[in-house]
Structures are given as structure tokens and as C-alpha cells.
A and B are shown apart, each in its own frame.
Chain A
Amino acid sequence: MMQTNLLDRYQTGESLIHHLDPRVKVVVTVLFILSNVLLPDGAWPAFALAWVLILVISVLAGLGPGYALKRSFVALPFALAAVTVMFNVPGQSLFAWQLGGWHLVATDAGVIRFASIVVRTWLSVQMAILLTATTRFPDVLHALQHLRVPHLLVAIISFMYRYLFVITDEAKRLMRAREARSARSATGAGGGSVAWRARGTGNMVGQLFLRSYERSDRVYNAMLARGYNGQFMTINPHVMCTSDWVVGIVAVAILVLLQVVGRMGSGW
């Protein structure tokens, strides 16, 4: 029944990166993303350096240099939402469009900002991909717990992770059942109107919701049956050792260096 392996990004490995404490990896990933956001527009050397850092980590993790790159393009369409900044940052005009009643002028500063936003997104997504490729998801959850993220939030993410697969399978079964009955007579065109089909799809979504809702009740009963009283308790065996601290400190130092490089040209 399990056909959703594509959601599991973890790549088994024994590298230094795999064995790092998940807290270090989570914190460094978050700081890396923060650092990208803080870098000024057009800080190309710093962006390039950040990418080198990603390449080094992928190679250290035994994933090969292209691993994160290949998977990062999924997120690029979302960066296109920032396309409007091309036109509303003041600066030298580069080219102009007449779009209906709008006169759009792209400025040089606008284009630089847009390119920077795309690069920031792209770098951040790659680091997140590396995190999930080298850390099992339950370990990421443990890390969040150790880092004092509220229990309820961690529990919600944990349930989401656990039942994502169950509900995907359920949706697939529903869809298969629909396909099995989507017959068409030998003579006529099958189908029905678009509205009719849409209603069928709506019913399926409703079914899925109801099933999930009823399941939540059964899961809650299963939790009660094992003594759940509103307080989540977990054990997680992670212990920070010296190498974890060293890697963490080195990573933070590199991020500080990135910031310095990024701001040198722009006079802070």
C-alpha cells in the first residue's frame, strides 16, 4: 500500500553530516536561511560562497554535488511571486511594457532585487533539502523538541508526518475506485458534464475529510487507551558531543564570514 516514498527524502548514509546531532543541523539550517535573507541585494560573492558551502556539505554527506541542485527547482516557481519588485523599486529604467492599461517599467535596482530574491530562495531550499536528506524526520522532530518548540506544535507536525502517508493512500484508493467505474459505452461518448464531474470530485474530497475526521477520533481513543492525559511525553536519546559543538561553531563562523563578505562592497 505504501507508494509514497517520494515524500521520504532521507538518504541512508554514515557520513559525518548524517551523524551530527539533529539540533545542530536544524539550527544551522535556520541560521543559513536567516543569513540569506539578511544579505544585501546583489551580494553575488556572498551568494556564490553560500552555494559553495552547500556543495561542500553535499559532498561531505556523500550525496554528490548535484543532489540538492536537482531537487531545488521544484521551489523556483514560488520565487516568481516576487516578480513585481522588478517594477516598483526606483532606479534607472531598463525596459518597459505596455500591459493593458498598465505601463510597466523595469528598473536596474528592481531587476537586481528580483534576482537576489530568486537566488536567496533557491539557496535556502537547497539547504532544507540537505537537512531532510541527511536527517530522519523523527530526528528533526526531536531536535525541535529539544529546542523548546512548543510540544503541541511538534505533536501536530508529527501527526501530519505519520498520517500524510495513510491519507495519501486513502486518496489513491478513492481515485482508483473512481477510475474502475469510469466506464464508457462502446457507442456514446462517456463522461457527463464538467459540473457533474466536479461534483464527483467534491464528493471525494468530502469523503476524505470525513474519513480523516473519524480516524482522528479512533486515534484519540488509542491515545487515551494508553494513558494519554493531554501531556505529550517523549524520550529522545540525542546527546551533544564535542564534534557536534565544533561543527556547529564552525558553521556559525562561516555564516558570519558570509555576512561580512556580503556587506564589504555595500559599505554595511
Chain B
Amino acid sequence: MPEGMQETKEESQLASIFRPSSFVVQNGRDAYKGDGVPTLLVENLSFSYPDGRSALRDVSLQIEDCEKVALVGPNGAGKSTLMLHLNGILNGEGYVEVGGMPVTGPNLPVIRAKVGLVFQNPDDQLFSPTVFEDVAFGPLHMGLPKDEVLQRVARALQRVGMSDYADRLSHHLSVGEKKRVAIATVLSMDPEILILDEPSAGLDPRARRALINQLRELPITMLVSTHDMRLVSELFPRMVIMDEGRIVADGATDALMGDTALLEAHGLERP
């Protein structure tokens, strides 16, 4: 699988280049708030790994400004694969747009600043020796001036309550601290949407509680993949269920949580 992912990264995405960005409006979707542009738009996205395994089948999803959406489903449902498409690390067939900007080759540097993608394992996310360097990595690669970078690092660390940790070595942190720093590493880029893969996995109850409170307070659009159904009902008004590469349900969390048959069909449990 690793070799395959390398290849697709480099491939150009002809399919999406030929779609005009006005496609959205022509398609008759007009229920946007704010500036009328959805923060995230995915249209008919399909993706197969080079070994032929189909990971995404005809996925369409739209997320508005400041919506907090949970993405649930069994392992192997395609949640992580979908997330890797949202900032162009993987390129499938279909159309992806962030804040009105298509996710295509020339836009990628800007897209990656707009999409704050936090990976599941904080040891993958935190690759620099010190916390400061990790949080500064994104802003530095956006080409911001030094003062601005320093300000953003300070602000991002403060937002996750880790201000005192700037000089610490990443490998000395606890899992909970690593997760919070991992979120700071993308907050420092001022993203339009925060995408988290399993943020509460491996946390003890106290660290999990701290993380939930932190996420609740962040005034930012969020798409969070998780198996933690209590987290979902507590934090996310909207829930998307994926199974076998498809979106099988998308709606209000309260309603979907009440549908026991639906949850059981996709290997999920009520909290």
C-alpha cells in the first residue's frame, strides 16, 4: 500500500480540472449560510487503491461554515481515505472543493493551509524534535514572516492550553499532551476546516474530557472521524455514517442515534 499511495500523490487529477468551479451553483444547491460558499464540498468522489481495492464509492458531502460534523463507521469504511482526499494527498475521481477552491494541483499549497488535517497517531503528526518547531512548521511553509510565525505559534499553543510546552521535546510528552500539540500544529495555519482522525483514541478519561472541552470551544468548522459514540452525541449535531466506501447516512445526530437498526447494520452502537 505505501508504494501505491506515493504514485497517486503525483498523479494529476484530470477529472477534477475539467469541472468549472461554478458547478456548485449550477447544481442547484443554495442552502448556504454566510458567504454562500460551503466550507467543504465533495461531489461523487471515488477512489481505488492501485491493488484494485475500492476505498471510496461515489461519496458526496457538503459541510457549511462552523458546522461540526462527526464521521463514523467501522474500520476500513474509508474514513481515513476520504480525509486524505480533502487536502489532495490522495486524488480520486470526482470533485473536491474547500472554501470555494477546487482541490487541484496548483491550488494545493493554499488548500493545505485551509485544511487542518490531524492524523490519528500523534507520533506521525509530531515529527520535529521540539513542540515549537512542530507548531511553527505549517506557518513557516506558508511563507509567513518570522514575527507572524512566532505570534501564530503562541496563539495556537494557547488555544490548546499548552503555552508552557513550546520548548519541550515531543518524545517527552504524554499521549494526551501529544494530541493537543498535534491540534496546535494545524491551528497555527489558521485553517478554515479542522479535520481530525480519531482524536480520542488511546486517551484516558481525563485527557479525553480535556480534549472534548477543547474541541467544543474551538469556533471552527470541524469534520471528526471517531469510534467514540459518546463523543459524537455530546459534541456533534450532525453525523455522517460511512460503510464500505459509501456514505450510508447523513443527518442529525439525535435522529440517527435513535435508529438502532441502522446503527447495528453498520457495526455501531448507541452511546
A residues adjacent to B (C-beta < 8 A): 2, 8, 136-138, 141, 158-159, 161-163, 165-166, 213-215, 217-219, 221-229, 231, 233-235
Closest Cβ neighbor of B140 among chain A residues: A233
Question: Which residues on B sit within 8 Å (CB–CB) of A136?
Answer: 169
Residues A235 and B6 in contact in the complex (CB < 8 Å), given A138-B129, A225-B112, A225-B117: no
* Interchain CB contact under 8 A, B124 and A215: yes
| Majority SS at the chain A contact face | helix
* Interchain CB contact under 8 A, A226 and B186: yes
Partner of B128, one of A2, A158, A221: A158
* Interchain CB contact under 8 A, A225 and B127: no
* B87 lies within 8 A of chain A by Cβ: yes
Return 18 A-B CB contacts under 8 Å, by A number.
A2-B172, A136-B169, A137-B129, A138-B133, A158-B128, A158-B129, A162-B128, A162-B129, A166-B123, A218-B121, A219-B127, A221-B5, A224-B112, A225-B89, A227-B109, A229-B109, A233-B137, A235-B146
- Shortest beta-carbon distance from A138 to chain B in Å: 4
* B142 lies within 8 A of chain A by Cβ: yes
- Shortest beta-carbon distance from A4 to chain B in Å: 8
Closest Cβ neighbor of B6 among chain A residues: A217
Extra A-B contacts (7), CB below 8 Å, given A222-B124, A225-B89, A225-B119: A162-B170, A215-B123, A217-B6, A228-B137, A229-B141, A233-B140, A235-B150
* Interchain CB contact under 8 A, B142 and A227: yes
* Interchain CB contact under 8 A, A225 and B115: yes
- Shortest beta-carbon distance from B37 to chain A in Å: 22
Residues A222 and B119 in contact in the complex (CB < 8 Å), given A158-B129, A162-B171: yes
- Shortest beta-carbon distance from B108 to chain A in Å: 9
Partner of A226, one of B1, B5, B84, B185: B185
Question: Which residues on A sit within 8 Å (CB–CB) of B133?
Answer: 138, 234
Question: Which residues on A sit within 8 Å (CB–CB) of B119?
Answer: 218, 221-222, 225
* Interchain CB contact under 8 A, B130 and A2: no
- Shortest beta-carbon distance from B6 to chain A in Å: 7
* Bitwise interface map of B from 1 to 41 toward A, beta carbon under 8 Å scored 1, else 0: 11001100100000000000000000000000000000000
B residues adjacent to A (C-beta < 8 A): 1-2, 5-6, 9, 84, 87, 89, 109, 112-113, 115, 117, 119, 121, 123-130, 133, 136-138, 140-142, 146, 149-150, 169-172, 185-186, 189
* Interchain CB contact under 8 A, A226 and B128: no
- Shortest beta-carbon distance from A237 to chain B in Å: 9
* Interchain CB contact under 8 A, A226 and B141: yes
How far, in angstroms, from A30 to B87 measured CA to CA in the complex?
Answer: 44
Residues A221 and B186 in contact in the complex (CB < 8 Å), given A138-B130, A162-B128, A215-B124: no
How far, in angstroms, from A231 to B140 measured CA to CA in the complex?
Answer: 10
- Shortest beta-carbon distance from B149 to chain A in Å: 6
* Interchain CB contact under 8 A, A227 and B138: yes
Closest 9 CB pairs of A and B: A227-B141, A226-B138, A138-B129, A233-B140, A218-B124, A165-B171, A217-B2, A225-B117, A227-B112
How far, in angstroms, from A244 to B87 measured CA to CA in the complex?
Answer: 45
Partner of A213, one of B2, B89, B123, B124: B2
* Interchain CB contact under 8 A, A166 and B141: no
Closest Cβ neighbor of A5 among chain B residues: B172
- Shortest beta-carbon distance from B161 to chain A in Å: 21
* Interchain CB contact under 8 A, A222 and B127: yes
How far, in angstroms, from A235 to B89 measured CA to CA in the complex?
Answer: 26
Closest Cβ neighbor of A161 among chain B residues: B129
How far, in angstroms, from A177 to B200 measured CA to CA in the complex?
Answer: 25
* Interchain CB contact under 8 A, A233 and B115: no
Residues A235 and B136 in contact in the complex (CB < 8 Å), given A161-B129, A226-B141, A229-B109: yes
Residues A159 and B109 in contact in the complex (CB < 8 Å), given A213-B2, A227-B189: no
